[in-house]
Structures are given as C-alpha cells and as structure tokens.
C-alpha cells in the first residue's frame, strides 16, 4: 500500500519481496520502511512528504529510548 499511496504505482516484485521479508523478520519497522521510500530517489522525485515522519524517526534513533520505542511499536 505504501507504494500505491506514496509513489502512485504498483510495487515491483523485488522491492515488494524485500520489504515484506524485512517487515516479517522485524528488521524494519513500518516507520523505517516509509522513511526509506520518502528518502529514495523515486520518493524525492515524486516529492513525497509525510507530516511528522521526521520527528518519529528521530525518536527511533535515540539511544536506549529508541530501542524501547522500537520494541514496543515494532508492528506500528
């Protein structure tokens, strides 16, 4: 759904498979996935913006607090 809403296209099979694997294995949160799409060259070209994403990502990067938030909201 992120591809459809943010990039206005269907996901390519490689990207879909890669992101789903990362989400299912908890290597990536949904916020991190959105951040990757927004900051990707395609996201920049499409001028994708999600209000509040930047401060949420800063919270995830804080020592100790970030790992706690990540554990609590990994499925967020």
Digit-coded pLDDT (tens) for 7-60? 999 999 998 999 999 999 988 888 889 999 999 999 999 999 899 888 777 877
Single out the residue of 76, 42, 39, 38 nearest to residue 59, CA to CA: 76
User: For residue 43, what are the contacts with CB-CB under 8 A and spacing of at least 6?
Assistant: 6, 7, 37
Burial class (CB in 10 A: 0-12, 13-18, 19+), 23: middle
- Residue whose entry in the numeric block shows the structure tokens 């001028």: 47
- In the predicted structure, residue 4 carries a pLDDT above the cut 80: yes
CA atoms within 13 A on the CB side of 66: 12
So what's the pLDDT on residue 73?
Answer: 65
């Amino acid at each position: 759904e992120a591809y459809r809403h943010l990039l206005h296209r269907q996901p390519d099979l490689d990207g879909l498979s890669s992101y789903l694997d990362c989400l299912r294995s908890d290597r990536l949160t949904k916020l991190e996935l959105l951040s990757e799409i927004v900051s990707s060259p395609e996201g920049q070209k499409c001028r994708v913006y999600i209000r509040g994403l930047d401060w949420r990502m800063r919270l995830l990067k804080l020592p100790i607090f970030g790992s706690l938030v990540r554990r609590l909201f990994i499925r967020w």
